[in-house]
Amino acid sequence: MAGRALESVDPTSGQRVRVWPELDGAGLERRVSTAHAEAARWARTSLAERAERLRGAARLFGERAEALALVMAEEMGKPLAQGRAEAQKCALACEFYAEHAPLMLADEAARPARPGAREFVSFRPLGVVLAIMPWNFPLWQVVRCAAPTLMAGNGLLLKHAENVQGCAEALEALFQDAGLPRGLCANCALAVARVPALIHDRRIAAVTLTGSTRAGRAVAACAGAALKKCVLELGGSDPYLVLADADLELAARTCAVARLINAGQSCIAAKRFIVLEPVRAEFTERLVAEMRAKTVGDPRTAVDLGPLARADLRDSLHAQVEKSVERGARLLLGGERPRGPGSFYPPSVLADVVAGQPAYEEELFGPVAAILAARDEAHALVLANDTRYGLGAAVFTRDVERGLRLAKEELQAGCVFVNDFVRSDPRLPFGGIKDSGFGREFASFGLREFVNVKTVVVG
């Protein structure tokens, strides 16, 4: 039986946008059974046919970018320019897998080969993958798993965040309009409480989640009990190291962008800026200036930041800022909850951030930068790695070889960038370590997460 209705609320005005009825038991059963049947048929289609459908999806993402951006602005506050870019990035991911998946999924001969033997590895689809997705990148997060999952020959059931059901419906319609079988890639409007039973359904082959560490633990426990493969892309508190020889203009400009994209609501947004003492004062001044220059307002206008996606998220962020200040952090910019409608929060900067403060210990999911002072490179690395998270990291230095050494050997994260900000790219594997999850999305690594790596030997 269905529970409460799901609703979208415009975070700019606080007004309800639309209400969706939760799927009842019969409706969910139809979606699962249809996806299961269609996945079995889809697994027998050629890679060329799957690629043709994904190319159709890529074309539609481009054609519908404006409409999709408007839905995102209305449901979770993303500025239109960022929404258009998100839709276009989805198109690129679909094109990437349409072009490169056939080679990535080709049979691989055993190495070293035995003379005269036929021994190889084949990559076969698993079935229906359940995708549990968040609201912050409501198109991109879904496509990150959908494009490789569908190209591998699987079906996909989407359990999207409750507040972005309009985005979920738009995605389902887009994939169907691109020529994928009806029901192969389908949205399930469900409350979180009904997810465990769905994971345990024998027709669900695997699970992928992008969300909080708390959600990841719950899904991993459930998937483990059901012996289902899962991929978890969870929270992050990404450190950005600014070394004494860094180009401070580049570092401050890049760090501000990395902190404020999507109003700071990103698992791979820069969170902690670890700055060596000789350049701390100048970097701080430059970062504050960059943050102060950003505009905040209605995401349907030309602004840098819209509101946070929900009022409760804004209130939680503000509480973290207040508690950090109470425990010794120094507020250099922002930090005040605006009056009036909407869940807006200003770009904010905290200095003197040390252990024991929320800005040091916790993920700040919003436009708040935390500056930590480091005595030297060794101390900077200790601070960077002193976190339960391990998703992304960056280092700024004019000595590129030094930056590469720190990125490769010292920083504990799944993705490390030198003199740039962390972002996902279909060509490169994406994911984290520690409490940021496990498994990888994108590249051949992500494509092969949800396949049967099957050994075939001819005697």
Report the alpha-carbon distance of residue 457 to residue 459 in Å, rounded: 6
Name the H helices within 293-355: 311-326
Handedness of CA 395, 397, 401, 406 (dihedral sign): negative
> Does the annotation count 409 as an active-site position?
no
Amino acid at 107: D
**Active-site choice (75, 233, 362, 449):** 233
- DSSP-derived letter for residue 338 is P
On the question of a cis peptide bond just before residue 112, with omega within 30 degrees of 0, the verdict is: yes
**Active-site choice (185, 188, 222, 267):** 267
Report the alpha-carbon distance of residue 168 to residue 134 in Å, rounded: 11
**Side-by-side strand order, sheet with 451-458:** 108-109, 118-125, 451-458
Report the alpha-carbon distance of residue 214 to residue 47 in Å, rounded: 37
Residue identified by tokens 């120094």 is 330
CA atoms within 13 A on the CB side of 211: 20
Measured in degrees and rounded to the nearest 5, phi and psi for residue 399 equal -90, 95
Report the candidate in 375, 370, 402 with the shortest Cα–Cα distance to residue 240.
370
- DSSP-derived letter for residue 64 is T
Count of C-beta atoms within a 10 Å radius of residue 179: 14
Report the candidate in 190, 78, 191 with the shortest Cα–Cα distance to residue 137.
78
Residue identified by tokens 């009842």 is 24
> Does the annotation count 362 as an active-site position?
no
Report the alpha-carbon distance of residue 137 to residue 171 in Å, rounded: 13
Residue identified by tokens 């995605």 is 171
Measured in degrees and rounded to the nearest 5, phi and psi for residue 243 equal -85, 170
* Catalytic center residues: 233, 267
